[in-house]
């Protein structure tokens, strides 16, 4: 018997003409690992929510869903609570109580399970998920990855038959994200729980999937094994193709009739076979970017920082020159001091030793708000921290309230910036009603209205799908041309490699190396892009997918 | 912050202990009992909170006590032993001075006990004890404790976010600052309501609202707790019987009349002393036990 059987499901939100779900037919077998993907707003979350009746949105709906042969409407609240587990996107918001152990037992308490059984189940879960060391801690002290793991464990404690996960890793850093997905796979393999997951970072999850379902405008457009779906997306020239793992994209870029690789390991084997027998003359890609610091816009000189006199140093003797009108990327692990460095640049924190110069002027010599007037601005990690008004337009206008401008001039400025970041259609909506990527662009528009010369970005690609990332990159390039220098801190290696002008590795409170992305990533063997890991045994400095494809093509031509 | 054995006992014992010692201290303003209570609470709070509490106890609590003691005779003129006359013409009596000191000691001891209470009775223990009576209240309490640090954190995120686009609360004249402050509160409220929806979803998807909700706890009432409970019970009875029998009593006005130090009264002092010093004795026993264990290795 199938776990879920969806028969001709249609759904539309009230007061919206467009169908959110359009004739959806889908069968998910027991024990399957299904990845549901699609652009933001394609209806994947809506579909997921239909599989858990308490979370199903209100609206016009027809069609039936069967859960283990029973119509989902007839499944009681108690049964759906224990049998259908649902993990949401934001790790923080899902946690209800203040202690880890209490959170773990929350679902079981609701089900009215007695103390002895809860004790056993909680112990079991804590051991399985490796939570026992922080079992008695307060939840507020946990990292994002730990919080999401706790959410998962607290649902698994109810022993569900199926686990629904709605973009569970979008708010996590890449390492925590792959750990989390690894845990999901482990549950699927070892416990046999059916998994349905929506994701936009397909790199990690694709190789695990038994089946991939692609949605577009409320319809299912592909539903097959990962390899077949990859080929279909390529053939249809679908935007979702750019969200596929690097090995698949590289594979599709080169004419060949070998089997499609899913992982880096398979990709390496594929490229070896592809070029087998060819005389590899070209091993190097031309790197046109140069890292030049002769005219720095920001300069830090032996900067030291710690929060309290007794605490440990966080930034340790950091010296860096940041070039003008470029995209300067800082990468590195969690807790190495990246975000603290950003705060130092904005003057929120002050170093206890060393100098920071912004545009050639010592940061201490800036008067109160001078630093932020047409000079420096930062886009926070969570764009929601900026929105004040009921509509995006009002919000943008509010930003100009301090300036001495006429109404028309203000409106013109807002129109300009809206065009630049591509949010003209969203101006009348509430800032909280638009998607994550749109919110970010709206926030960016807001920041740009202060006309900064230096733009600081903290994790700008977090939670964005590849399509939005591409848009963001082109906006940043546009800003570079207009004389804005961009400094960004990111975990997103692929983004920095493709669009950055230089990359710096932050480690232990200091920048270890700064280079052009090509030199930077081709010099690393672990901390580098998948395209580079996939091709480094053949090519010397291919960092992006396009590099690998170009080199493959050139060498194949001589075969 | 040293390791404390008493805090590892069952929350019910922790709570009863504090209720009892505070009750005894407040109800029987008897000099011997007060001195026992004062020294016990003082040493226990210093043991628990270390140097910081020592500073507070000596610099703030003691002067407060002396002040309180001096205030009484100024306003209270009852008592038979007149020492002298105050400038206003009112008599200054020995009884008022003694009573002032007694109440001041009582007052300060209770403060010390409460500082210990705060360290020992953590929120989860409190929730556990009272959650059994009203399960929904315990959940609300726990949610509030979760929400407060989250809210605080978000407030600082928002304030920094605003600062980085030149909207600083610490900048500008009073009107501007007030405006920025309101803006932050407004953003925070929207944020809280919006994100609260997801929390509600998470609660519903884990069956909140089903009938027959239980309340899980990680506390056990083990043998040690049973023994301690018995000891505490015996101490309380032994301390109470002499009082009930009239062997321990004191009257301050019009003349200070205290019971004689009969063996029966000493009985009361010892039992009450043991009760007050119980947590410290437990810690001492634990220390000795570890010393012995170590020396055996």
Per residue in B176-214, pLDDT (tens digit) is 788 888 888 888 888 888 888 989 999 999 999 888 888
Best interface-test mutation with A: which of B146, B148, B166, B196 has the largest number of A CBs within 10 A?
B166
Chain A: give the shortest CA distance to residue B211, in Å. Answer: 8
Name the DSSP class of A99.
B
Chain A: give the shortest CA distance to residue B285, in Å. Answer: 26
**Residue A540 to residue A366: CA distance in whole angstroms:** 46
**Does the pLDDT at position B169 exceed 80?**
no
Chain B: give the shortest CA distance to residue A447, in Å. Answer: 6
Determine phi and psi for B202, rounding to 5 degrees: -65, -35
Closest of A149, A146, A262, A260 to residue A202, by C-alpha: A262
Asked if B186 has any chain A CB less than 8 Å from its own CB, the reply is yes
**Residue A305 to residue A309: CA distance in whole angstroms:** 10
Closest of B66, B103, B72 to residue B90, by C-alpha: B72
Asked if B150 has any chain A CB less than 8 Å from its own CB, the reply is yes
Local confidence band at B1 (pLDDT 50, 70, 90 cut-offs) = very low
Helix ranges, A39-99 (H): 44-50, 77-83, 91-94
Best interface-test mutation with A: which of B138, B205, B221 has the largest number of A CBs within 10 A?
B205
Closest of B240, B246, B245, B244 to residue B269, by C-alpha: B240
Contact indicator for B194, A432 with CB cutoff of 8 Å: yes
**Residue A390 to residue A379: CA distance in whole angstroms:** 20
Determine phi and psi for A337, rounding to 5 degrees: 110, 10
Q: Do B165 and A447 touch (CB under 8 A)?
A: yes
pLDDT tens, position by position, A303-314: 999 988 888 899
**Residue A107 to residue A129: CA distance in whole angstroms:** 17
Q: Which residues of chain B does A447 touch, with a Cβ-Cβ cutoff of 8 Å?
A: 165
Closest of A79, A168, A193 to residue B207, by C-alpha: A79
Q: Do A77 and B210 touch (CB under 8 A)?
A: yes
**Residue A522 to residue A540: CA distance in whole angstroms:** 7
Please give the pLDDT value at position A263. 92
Beta bridge partners of A62: A10
Beta bridge partners of A328: A487, A502
Local confidence band at B3 (pLDDT 50, 70, 90 cut-offs) = confident
Local confidence band at A194 (pLDDT 50, 70, 90 cut-offs) = very high
Number of A–B residue contacts, CB under 8 Å? 168
Determine phi and psi for A374, rounding to 5 degrees: 50, 35
**Residue B255 to residue A262: CA distance in whole angstroms:** 95
Q: Which residues of chain A does B188 touch, with a Cβ-Cβ cutoff of 8 Å?
A: none
**Adjacency order of strands within the sheet including A211-216:** A84-87, A162-166, A194-198, A33-37, A211-216, A219-224
Q: Which residues of chain A does B191 touch, with a Cβ-Cβ cutoff of 8 Å?
A: 384-385
pLDDT tens, position by position, A416-464: 999 888 888 889 988 888 877 888 889 999 998 888 999 999 989 887 8
**Does the pLDDT at position A196 exceed 90?**
yes
Long-range contacts of B93-98 (CB under 8 A, 24+ apart): B94/B256, B95/B252, B95/B253, B95/B254, B95/B255, B95/B256, B96/B72, B97/B69, B97/B72, B97/B73, B98/B252, B98/B256
Closest of A274, A351, A211 to residue A537, by C-alpha: A274
Q: Do B210 and A112 touch (CB under 8 A)?
A: yes
pLDDT tens, position by position, A380-389: 888 888 888 8
**Residue A473 to residue A495: CA distance in whole angstroms:** 8
**Residue A6 to residue A89: CA distance in whole angstroms:** 23
Q: Which residues of chain A does B192 touch, with a Cβ-Cβ cutoff of 8 Å?
A: none
Would the pTM count as exceeding 0.90?
no
Q: What percent of chain A has pLDDT over 70?
A: 100
Q: Which residues of chain A does B125 touch, with a Cβ-Cβ cutoff of 8 Å?
A: none
More confident residue, A120 or A464: A120
Q: Which residue has the tokens 């998470």?
A: B202
Chain B 204-243, CB below 8 Å of chain A: which residues? 204-218
Q: Which residue has the tokens 């949010």?
A: A423
**Residue A420 to residue A429: CA distance in whole angstroms:** 18
Please give the pLDDT value at position A435. 79
Domain ranges of chain B: 6-121+227-289, 133-205
Chain B: give the shortest CA distance to residue A142, in Å. Answer: 12
Is this prediction's ipTM beyond 0.90?
no
Chain B: give the shortest CA distance to residue A155, in Å. Answer: 7
Residues A342-360 have a mean pLDDT of 90
């Amino acid at each position: 018997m199938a776990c879920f059987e969806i028969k001709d499901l249609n759904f539309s939100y009230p007061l919206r003409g467009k169908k959110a779900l359009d004739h959806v037919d889908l069968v998910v077998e027991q024990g399957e690992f299904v990845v549901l993907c699609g652009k933001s707003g394609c209806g994947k979350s809506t579909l997921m929510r239909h599989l858990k009746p308490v979370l199903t949105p209100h609206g016009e709906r027809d069609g039936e869903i069967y859960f283990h042969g029973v119509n989902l409407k007839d499944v009681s609240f108690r049964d759906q609570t224990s049998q259908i587990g649902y993990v949401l996107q934001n790790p923080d918001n899902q946690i209800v109580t203040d202690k880890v152990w209490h959170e773990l037992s929350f679902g079981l308490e609701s089900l009215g399970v007695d103390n002895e059984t809860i004790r056993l189940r909680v112990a079991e879960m804590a051991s399985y998920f490796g939570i026992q060391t922080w079992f008695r801690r307060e939840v507020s002290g946990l990292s994002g990855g730990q919080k999401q793991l706790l959410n998962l464990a607290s649902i698994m404690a109810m022993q569900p038959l199926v686990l629904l996960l709605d973009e569970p890793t979008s708010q996590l850093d890449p390492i925590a994200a792959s750990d989390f997905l690894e845990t999901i796979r482990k549950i699927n393999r070892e416990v046999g729980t059916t998994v349905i997951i929506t994701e936009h970072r397909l790199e990690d999850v694709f190789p695990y999937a038994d089946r991939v379902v692609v949605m577009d405008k409320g319809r299912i457009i592909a539903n097959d094994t990962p390899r077949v779906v990859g080929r279909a997306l390529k053939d249809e020239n679908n935007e979702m193709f750019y969200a596929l793992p690097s090995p698949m994209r590289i594979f599709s870029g080169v004419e060949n009739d070998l089997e499609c690789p899913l992982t880096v390991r398979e990709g390496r084997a594929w490229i070896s076979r592809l070029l087998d027998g060819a005389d590899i003359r070209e091993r190097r890609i031309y790197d046109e970017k140069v890292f030049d610091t002769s005219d720095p816009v920001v300069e830090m000189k032996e900067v030291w920082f710690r929060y309290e006199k007794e605490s440990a140093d966080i930034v340790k003797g950091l010296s860096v020159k940041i070039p003008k009108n470029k995209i300067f990327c800082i990468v590195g692990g969690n807790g190495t001091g990246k975000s603290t460095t950003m705060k130092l640049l904005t003057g929120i924190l002050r170093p206890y030793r060393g100098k920071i110069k912004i545009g050639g002027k010592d940061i201490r010599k800036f008067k109160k708000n001078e630093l932020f007037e047409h000079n420096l601005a930062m886009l926070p990690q969570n764009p929601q921290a900026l929105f004040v008004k009921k509509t995006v337009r009002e919000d943008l206008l509010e930003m100009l309230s301090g300036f001495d401008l006429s109404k028309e001039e203000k409106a013109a400025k807002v129109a300009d910036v809206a065009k630049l970041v591509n949010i003209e259609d969203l101006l009348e909506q509430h800032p909280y009603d638009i998607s994550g990527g749109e919110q970010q662009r709206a926030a960016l528009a807001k920041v740009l209205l202060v006309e900064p010369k230096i733009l600081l970005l903290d994790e700008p690609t977090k939670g964005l799908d590849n399509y939005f990332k591409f848009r963001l990159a082109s906006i940043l390039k546009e800003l570079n041309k207009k004389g804005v220098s961009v400094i960004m801190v990111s975990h997103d290696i692929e983004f920095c490699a493709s669009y950055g002008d230089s990359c710096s590795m932050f480690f232990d409170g200091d920048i270890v190396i700064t280079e052009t992305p090509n030199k930077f990533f081709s010099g690393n063997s672990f901390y580098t892009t998948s395209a580079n890991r996939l091709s480094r045994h053949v090519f010397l400095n291919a960092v992006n997918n396009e590099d690998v494809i170009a080199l493959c093509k050139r060498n194949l031509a001589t075969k | 912050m040293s390791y404390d054995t008493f805090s590892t006992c069952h929350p019910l014992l922790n709570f009863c202990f504090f209720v009892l010692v505070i009750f005894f201290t407040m109800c029987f303003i008897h000099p011997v009992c007060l001195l026992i209570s004062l020294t016990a609470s003082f040493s226990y709070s210093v043991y628990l909170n270390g140097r910081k509490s020592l500073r507070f106890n000596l610099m703030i609590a003691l002067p407060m006590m002396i002040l309180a003691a001096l205030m009484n005779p100024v306003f209270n003129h009852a008592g038979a032993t007149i020492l002298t006359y105050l400038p206003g013409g009112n008599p200054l009596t020995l009884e008022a001075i003694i009573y002032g000191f007694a109440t001041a000691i009582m007052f300060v001891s209770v403060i010390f006990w409460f500082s210990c209470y705060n360290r020992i009775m953590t929120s989860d223990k409190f929730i556990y004890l009272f959650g059994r009576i009203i399960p929904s209240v315990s959940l609300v309490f726990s949610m509030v404790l979760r929400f407060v640090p989250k809210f605080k954190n978000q407030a600082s995120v928002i304030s920094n976010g605003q600062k980085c686009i030149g909207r600083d609360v610490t900048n500008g004249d009073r009107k501007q600052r007030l405006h920025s402050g309101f803006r932050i509160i407004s953003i925070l409220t929207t944020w809280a309501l919006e994100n609260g929806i997801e929390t509600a979803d998470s609660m519903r998807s884990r069956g909140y609202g089903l009938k027959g909700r239980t309340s899980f706890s990680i506390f056990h009432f083990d043998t040690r707790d049973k023994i301690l409970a018995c000891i505490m019970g015996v101490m309380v009875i032994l301390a109470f019987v002499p009082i009930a029998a009239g062997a321990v009593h004191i009257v301050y006005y019009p003349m200070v009349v205290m019971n004689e130090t009969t063996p029966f009264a000493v009985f009361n002092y010892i039992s009450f002393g043991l009760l007050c010093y119980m947590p410290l004795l437990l810690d001492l026993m634990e220390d000795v036990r570890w010393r012995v264990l170590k020396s055996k290795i």
